[in-house]
Amino acid sequence: MIVLKLGGSVITVKDKPMTPRPETIRRLAGEIAEADVKLILIHGGGSYGHPVASRYGIKGGYSSENQLQGLAETHQAMVKLNTLIVEALIKAGVPAIGVPPSSLIITTDGRITELELQALRGMLKIGLTPVLYGDAVLDTMLGFTILSGDQLASRLAVELGAERLIYGVDVDGVYTKDPKRDEAELLERVTPKTLRELEAASPTAVDVTGGMRAKIEEALRAAERGVEVVILNAMREGIILKALRGESVRGSWVVADADD
Amino acid sequence: MIVLKLGGSVITVKDKPMTPRPETIRRLAGEIAEADVKLILIHGGGSYGHPVASRYGIKGGYSSENQLQGLAETHQAMVKLNTLIVEALIKAGVPAIGVPPSSLIITTDGRITELELQALRGMLKIGLTPVLYGDAVLDTMLGFTILSGDQLASRLAVELGAERLIYGVDVDGVYTKDPKRDEAELLERVTPKTLRELEAASPTAVDVTGGMRAKIEEALRAAERGVEVVILNAMREGIILKALRGESVRGSWVVADADD
């Protein structure tokens, strides 16, 4: 079984509210259909979930009652995006079914502590493709928060014994700097040492690699538990198909080396 | 806490595929907002879920692999209807959140045997209004089946200790015959004895009361566990608001009398 996470920047236009990339979604649904593997798909929020979640301060947790309306709107924005993905998959011949994390996951200070997997396991077993996403979820300390698709993907890969975890983003992998801004070198191999070096290079909240650090942390958690993890560019045609098939692709392989 | 089930015939035009009743949905969302009570809402499938589920024989369970596509389509049709309800509620000021039964319930031969309630309880506690629906679910004997909103409503009312369970339909309650076809008398009080009499009146699969018998069976299950249960006409303006507030309304009260 494979866990595939598609970043919000891949499937939406990140700086235009509620704007999907229908052609990319259609192409990726086709590649997933062609690969024909047992799969859990997880997608990010992009320009759907993020603007409304940020307007209401959902990630920071409960501070006032009118945030509940914001939580409801955040979740519903994600359901709308999920509907686009699920319907593209169904159209491509993949029996996909949306599974909202808020219905089966509870976090504690932002980390998953309750995770109800029975229905998810049953769906995989019978041949359905569950499609989850970053979502507003209940949190035992904060009241509620935002669960990232990256954390969810890594945790599900571990819990369900995935052989491979693929993070599909809009760059070729992990760079020493933000490849969209600076000349940067692609790291084909990312280890805990790489993470420490990146942290040393920008010790503040600023992430010089373009928001990649948190993703690497989640990726390493799965790699440490024996999952093969790769971060690759899902905007490149055919790369998801190859990666799902286990063929060699350009990207950053995240490994938890003992000799590191 | 109150469980409100709205029938598919109330919120959709039952004989026109994928046709909602937007005005009715908007009015009901307004009544729910005005009532301002702790609530779980459950809705039926009407012209969304039923046609596709029936085309693929989802209720009868797994017999061939291409039914998975049908299951995916059935679920997605229900998500579409759920989206209309949830968005009408959010617009009316109710922080509503869709919760798909397929993500947290597993049945055995059509009856709920696994039910993950932790997230649902958390949503209620924090002040969200969960909105569930009749759905295609996994079944340990059949592979999958259709879980009716009626069974779900009754079971959730019992499990979550609801004080009241309201079935909103498109007739005034339980009649001795189908009120849409024949002269019939409204029963203001429905007991296990009533059910036996209705069964004696039409012992075959034909339900002379217009599909009401299965609903009464589910209603009695909750009544037996101490829940106040009423079947009423949600098409009548203001009746849902009154019922949510606990005011007296026209309808059939389902009671499990010991002296019966």
Which DSSP string corresponds to B76-115? Answer: HHHHHHHHHHHHHHHHTT--EEE--GGGTEEEETTEEEEE
| Domain membership flag for residue A260 | no
B116 in A contact zone (CB under 8 Å): yes
Higher pLDDT, B202 or A24: A24
Q: Is residue B184 part of a domain?
A: yes
Question: Residue B165's closest CA among B195, B190, B198?
Answer: B190
Tokens 């929020």 — which residue?
A: A45
Report pLDDT for A81: 98
- Can you give the three-state secondary structure of A21-75, one letter per residue? CHHHHHHHHHHHHHHCCCEEEEECCHHHHHHHHHHCCCCCCCCCCCHHHHHHHHH
- pTM of the complete model: 0.96
Give pLDDT, residue A182. Answer: 75
Is residue B150 in some structural domain?
A: yes
Residue B225 counted as domain residue:
yes
Who among B76, B90, B104 is closest to A69 (CB)? B90
Place of tokens 């992430």: A207
pLDDT score, position B182:
75
**Per the structure block, which two tokens stand in for B113?**
């045997």
Sign of CA dihedral A73, A78, A79, A84: positive
Structure confidence by residue, pLDDT tens digits, A41-72:
999 999 999 999 999 999 999 999 999 999 99
The amino acid at residue A7 is: G
By C-alpha distance, the chain A residue nearest B85 is A76
Q: Do A98 and B96 make contact, defined as CB atoms within 8 angstroms? A: no
Q: A71: which chain B residues are within 8 Å (Cβ-Cβ)?
A: 95, 97, 128
User: Looking at the 3D structure of chain B, how many domains does it have?
Assistant: 1
Q: What's the pLDDT score for residue B208?
A: 62
Interface with B, mutate which of A115, A126, A129, A156 (most B CBs under 10 A): A126
Check: CB of residue B139 under 8 Å from CB of residue A125: no
* pLDDT confidence tier of residue B209, bands split at 50, 70 and 90: low
Compute the average pLDDT of residues A23-32.
Answer: 98
Q: Are strands A174-175 and A186-187 parallel, antiparallel or unpaired?
A: antiparallel
B258: pLDDT strictly greater than 70: no
- Read off the pLDDT of residues B138-173 as tens digits, 9 standing for 90 and up: 999 999 999 999 999 999 999 999 999 999 999 999
| Residue at B104 is within a domain | yes
- pLDDT, tens digit, 9 for 90 and up, residues A152-198: 999 999 999 999 999 999 999 998 877 777 778 899 999 999 888 88
Q: Residue A28: which CATH number? A: 3.40.1160.10
Residue A259 lies in a domain: no
Q: How far is residue A252's CA from residue A173's CA, in Å, rounded to a whole number?
A: 5
pLDDT at residue A9 tops 80: yes
Question: Is A38 domain-assigned?
Answer: yes
Residue B260 is assigned to a structural domain of this protein: no
- Does ipTM top 0.90? yes
Domain with A31 in it: 2-254
Number of residues written out for chain B? 260
Tokens for B10? Answer: 């109330």
B126: nearest CB among A83, A95, A138: A138
The pLDDT, as a whole number, for residue B204 is 64
Long-range contacts of A54-62 (CB under 8 A, 24+ apart): A58/A136, A58/A144, A58/A145, A58/A146, A59/A145, A59/A146, A60/A142, A60/A145, A61/A139, A61/A141, A61/A142, A61/A143, A61/A144, A61/A145, A62/A142, A62/A143, A62/A144, A62/B126
Residues of B in contact with A95 (CB under 8 A): 68-69, 71-72
How much is the mean pLDDT over chain A? 94
